Structure 1
Amino acid sequence: MAKFAESTSVSVEKSRAEIERTLGRYGASGFMYGWNAGSAVVAFEMSQRRVMFNLAMPNRADAEFTRTPTGKSRSPAQAEAAWEQAQRQRWRALALVIKAKLEAVESGITEFEDEFLAHIVLPNGETAGRWMRPQIARAYDSGDMPALLPSPPGR
């Protein structure tokens, strides 16, 4: 199956700007982004919550960029172009995800916290998703699962 926007020509900068505009239209009260060699971060404030998406960037040295699908070596220029294409694809996908989540909330399909829960930043700077993943794994490993339904009042 093909990846969403795998052949997009929309630049990373345009996708980032689109995310910022979209957040503004839906009422964000703050926005920031940053990057390093291995990832990009998009964060915003909305509904009295801080939300952060960590977007893993592709590794230039990965075989998917240095070799063609048939296994032939790519030239340095071809490898660079393939790597840049992968970055553009990921930013387009992130723009789609954020827009879809915001529209689901705006349309009343879901609540803000439910839609963005894994990406809400906790007071210690960690996202709820990163904090919860080990706890979920422990629950499944131990077999100690929470009840599907809460206890009736008074019990």
Structure 2
Amino acid sequence: MKKFNSYRQTKVNWGKSQANICKLLGRFNITDTRFTFLQSQNKLICEFNYPTEIKEKPVNIGIRIIIPVPESKDTEQAKNQIHRALYYYLKSKFEALEFNLVEFTQEFMPHIVLFDKKGVSRTAYELFEPQYKKNLLTGNQSEIKLIGDGK
């Protein structure tokens, strides 16, 4: 796995970064947030529900951000690093929203959680990426299906 240099020397504890993330999300009325650190898979997962309205109907848009954890002999420092990177990643996304550069679904599209008919959830990117790469390799730009028939 690639080594990440950004925030490698951060002194900010990952717990403080999580608190900063929750505070940032709270500014946008996001109260349901979950962090999962999968040490065996070298991943940090941040999930939250974004409350909004679509055609005057209240809805929650589920978001799942999956971040690779940098290689490190010091697990705590790697957690500090990746949480800090996540904080600034989210901060930049929400700043784009505040400036009306994009709308929420446009900015978070790869991270939106979709469910198939069996109730299995994956992000839009996890569904889109293999089909897109296959189309690029074959030169055949066929239809990309984000949600199959669930079979």
Superposition TM-score, scaled by structure 1 size: 0.72
Q: Residue 113 of structure 2 aligns to a residue in which SS? A: coil
Residue 147 of structure 2 corresponds to none
The correspondence for 1:50, drawn from 62, 70, 76, is 62
Aligned counterparts of 2:7 and 2:107: Cα–Cα separation in 1: 23
Structure 2: gaps spanning 5 or more residues: 53-59, 143-151
Cα RMSD of the aligned pairs, angstroms, is 2.1
More helix by share: 1
Residue 144 of structure 1 corresponds to 140
How many percent of aligned residue pairs carry the same amino acid? 29
Q: After the TM superposition, list the runs of 4 or more consecutive aligned residues in structure 1 that deviate by more than 4 angstroms.
A: none
Residue 104 of structure 2 corresponds to 112
Tell whether 2:116 aligns with 1:121.
Answer: no
Query: Match of 1:55, as an amino acid?
Result: I
Count the aligned residue pairs: 126
Q: Equivalences for 1:69-80 in 2 at 5 Å?
A: 79-80=73-74
Aligned counterparts of 1:89 and 1:57: Cα–Cα separation in 2: 9
Aligned counterparts of 1:84 and 1:20: Cα–Cα separation in 2: 20
Q: Residue 5 of structure 1 aligns to a residue in which SS? A: coil
Between Structure 1 and Structure 2, whose CA radius of gyration is higher? 1
